[in-house]
Amino acid sequence: MPGRDMHSLWNAGAAPWMRMPACFLLIPTPFMSLRIYNTLTRALERFSPLQPGHVRMYVCGMTVYDLCHLGHARSMVAFDVVQRWLRASGLAVTYVRNITDIDDKIIRRAVENGESIRSLTDRMIDALHQDADALGIARPDHEPRATDYVPQMQIMIGRLQAHGLAYQAEGGDVNFAVRKFPGYGRLSGKSIDELHVGERVAVLDGKNDPLDFVLWKSAKPEEPAEVKWDSPWGPGRPGWHIECSAMGCELLGESFDIHGGGADLAFPHHENEIAQSEGATGKPFVQVWMHNGFINVDNEKMSKSLGNFFTIRQVLEHYDAEVVRFFVVRSHYRSPLNYSNVHLDDARGALKRLYTALSLVPAEEGVAIDWTNPYAARFKAAMDEDFGTPEAIAVLFDLAGEVNRSRSPQAAGLLKALGAILGLLQSDPRAYLQAGAGVDAAEIEAQVAARAAAKAAKNWAEADRIRDALLARGIVLKDGPAGTTWQAQA
């Protein structure tokens, strides 16, 4: 199953500021030296795909009952960077990010709204795409909806039942027998004895053991007809965990390279995925498990259940989409990320410094990254060490300093090409720096010209008056060898 070529992948659904023109050549890195932190082994491991040259990656996507918040953006951006670096390293990638379009929250929200499940989920999927596109997140190769894979889920449940790992409870639900699967808890580091009885499920649910989890939910009379599928166990719908196992195995094979998601999914969701997938197939499910850290507000995880979340759309009302992406990328994907306007303001100022360097000299077109170049080599070393974006961003700032000193079109071209790998720095620098000024550009240019005339006439007082008047309006003038440019104040 081949992955898309790099240019079509970067540009598919991409925001204008991060589309990569064909003249920018992302030459694959010369050799594979990538190490990834594997949650399963709790260690950094040298990565080698199961199928040479081809990475198969599955990332848990959104449950589409509401708009995406910034925590969702963190996960989407993190794994967008992962797939970008894999492709830039010369690997073919098949990237799957699922959509959960059936669960209790979706049913409840649709009933509250007086609309069908499909109407709600279609609207939320459209909103998800709009938000992801705004942030420059490339569309995955496959974006399966859970409701399209119910037959595959039923087949997997049947195999588990045949292997003695699943049973139908008195109420009709089909459950996974956790204690019958050797090694349960490997991913989370939790042993059966350490798990607190009754912590997650009640004994009265008809389970043989409180730790067992549901594979197939028996239909309830009050639920809408559209969430009831016929099955060997009676009408009902799949449990949450079985969805990802079935979709992952169907689209990527019974064993694949990388499975990702938020840190909150490691247990129980991903733990249960391993148990039911390996219990059904008898094969190792995933080689490398990756988990991104939370976005925190006042040191608490941002989440809808806690009510302390900001939707992507709310944030984009106040900050440019590339600023939000930069805010996420400059922190390591596994680290917690603290949200505040102060941090976003700082990200905006930092991104402007990079664009200011690019505004000084036209970037050389057609730059093929020479990975022996000291800056490129440092960037590669950072990304090869568990996708070390903070160190990679530091390289961009060092390279921007070189552009400031040398006014080198080659250095500017390399800065833009390396930025493209992270989905950054692809806008026209002058347009980016002037964006958000809320002024008439022609009028500002006229003021700049008037100031130049005053300086030519040695009327320094008038030149200073124009500069100060513009600064009071949030316009910063930059004098350079090529003349005066202007930008919006950070």
From the CB of residue 372, how many other CB atoms can be counted at a distance below 10 Å? 9
Name the residue ranges covered by the structural domains of the chain.
Answer: 6-314, 436-488
- Return binding residues for Zn(2+): 60, 244, 269, 273
Give the residue from 401, 328, 444, 267 showing the smallest Cα distance to 79: 328
Q: Which two tokens stand for residue 276?
A: 């039911």
- Return binding residues: 60, 244, 269, 273, 304
Q: How far apart are CA 434 and CA 415, in angstroms?
A: 20
- Return binding residues for ATP: 304
Residue 476: CB partners within 8 Å, gap ≥ 6? 470, 486, 487, 488, 489
Q: What is the CATH number of domain 6-314?
A: 3.40.50.620
| Residues in the chain, pLDDT under 50 | 1-2, 6-7, 9-10, 13, 16-17, 20-25, 197-202
Residue 466's pLDDT is 78
Q: Which two tokens stand for residue 279?
A: 């219990």
Residue 305's pLDDT is 66
Angle between helix axes 104-113 and 117-134 (nearest 10 degrees) is 110
